Amino acid sequence: MPARDACGVVGISLQGKGAAPYLFRGLRALQHRGQESAGIATTSHGALHQRRGMGLVHEIFGQELLDSLRGTTGIGHVRYPTTGSTDIENAQPIVFKMRDGDAALACNGDLVNFERLRRHLQGQGVELLGNADTETMAQAIALEYSHQRDLEGAIRRACMELVAFRDPLGIRPMVFGTVEGGVAVASESVALELMGGKSVRDVLPGEVLVLEKGQLARTSTIPNNGDRAHCMFEWVYFSRPDSMLEGRPIYDVRHRIGVRLAKESPAASDLVVPVPDSARPQALGFAEGSGIPYAEALIKNRFVERTFILPDQKRRELEVRVKLHPVPGLLKGKRIVLLDDSIVRGTTLREIVQMVRTAGATKIDVRIGCPPIRAPCYFGVDMKERRELVAYERSEEQVAEIIGADSVHYLSMEGLVESIGMRSEELCLGCLTGKYPVEVPQERHRFQKSLKEF
């Protein structure tokens, strides 16, 4: 931590009651996936209503605004920007013109062929207002539809429908479920539960779901030869621990990671301390696996959430001190195993290690519940530059020196894959291996067998 995910999405189709209050609750459950902006679009009697704003979901949507979002079908989005600048033009859902009317689109993830598609659209005379890839995708859909006469009926129906689709390799998550009086989709199962419903299943990679009049009207799947590449980082960090992904509870995976780390990289210590909140299950697993007592020795101030307003390094460092504070006396004279879910840039962890040392710890062994992140992500996660990554071309010893710890050990690749409980071929491990599940600019493709191992 802390890397930021691209976004969270939610969509709902109900019968006889308004969608907006449900979307609001679903978005609040997904707030951890993006805090820059949020938006809701609903449809009633062929008209589209859309409201977007900068900030947190509850700050944007008061009762009056929710009441103005009429209709039984709608979508919602929370955004952390990975492509496109920070302004309202790039907030989602994006509303765009189709041949027979308006449509709204919300997307979780990045378009890897964004630049090429953008140039193609501009070459066709399409005007792009913002610079985010979702607008590019929306315009590409509109252009495609305008060329295909047989889709006319579908466009007309789109006024009443919600179409949900998951990327063909299932890199980003999406679940389908039921709510009272309807059906819904969301980036995480917890959003369905907080809408008063429950998750039924994961949307399949490449699956298209059409939700209509409170029912799942039909499904189809983009042809794919069975390849999957679920983002390992959803289990490691992004998803809430109370969510389920591909049938695996996130909490259980994180707990197994901790138990495994205790076996792989033991440490002679007095206390296991998590970096809150995300590393708690891993730290509990480590404590169980090692028999070393667990203590919540770092307390998080829950009311400091708006990290996006602190963009530069110096401010981020200051922010850690506002966000976390050690329990007086608990760390004094103790050897500490400090558990974190992952290290991306290392800035936050360096501050935390220093804080633990200042509080009197005599030894700090850092254990990380993920292998070293050494390559960028092209699929919606804010890890773009190799040189920003603390593990890039650095050993565990060098990283320990940079963050000021006595030792640093990462979870092994086998440990990660076995803790998730899937085959490595079914996971995206691109930022760990530098081999990606789809072709990305100037990078290796994991199916390019001739390339030597990373």
CB nearer ligand SF4, residue 145 or residue 379? 379
CA distance 423 to 427: 7
| 360 Cβ contact list (under 8 Å, min separation 6) | 331, 332, 333, 334
Query: Binding mask 148-187 vs ligand SF4 (x if CB under 6 A, - otherwise)?
Result: -----------------------x----------------
Closest CB 379 distance from ligand SF4, rounded Å: 4
CA distance 4 to 227: 26
Are the C-beta atoms of residues 433 and 454 closer than 8 Å to each other? Answer: yes
Angle (nearest 5°) at CA 252 between 427 and 198: 85
CA distance 36 to 81: 7
Q: Running DSSP on this structure, what letter comes out for residue 382? A: S
Which member of 428, 435, 438, 446 binds ligand SF4 (CB under 6 A)? 428
Instruction: Tally the residues of the chain.
Output: 454
The residue range among 86-94, 152-160, 190-198, 422-430 that interacts with ligand SF4, by the rule CB under 6 A, is 422-430
Are the C-beta atoms of residues 81 and 36 closer than 8 Å to each other? Answer: yes
Q: Which of 7, 159, 231, 377 is catalytic?
A: 7
Closest CB 167 distance from ligand SF4, rounded Å: 10
Q: Indicate whether 6 belongs to the interface with ligand SF4 (CB under 6 A).
A: no
Query: Binding mask 304-343 vs ligand SF4 (x if CB under 6 A, - otherwise)?
Result: ----------------------------------------
Number of residues that bind ligand SF4 (CB under 6 A): 11
Q: Indicate whether 231 belongs to the interface with ligand SF4 (CB under 6 A).
A: yes
CA distance 290 to 259: 8
Query: Is 7 annotated in the active site?
Result: yes
Residues 347-406 that bind ligand SF4 (CB under 6 A): 377, 379, 381
Beta bridge partners of 198: 178
Closest C-alpha among 226, 377, 436, 228 to residue 447 = 436
Closest CB 380 distance from ligand SF4, rounded Å: 7
Q: Indicate whether 232 belongs to the interface with ligand SF4 (CB under 6 A).
A: yes
CA distance 118 to 109: 16
Closest CB 432 distance from ligand SF4, rounded Å: 7
Catalytic residues, by residue number, are 7
Which residues make up the interface to ligand SF4 (CB under 6 A)? 171, 231-233, 377, 379, 381, 428-431
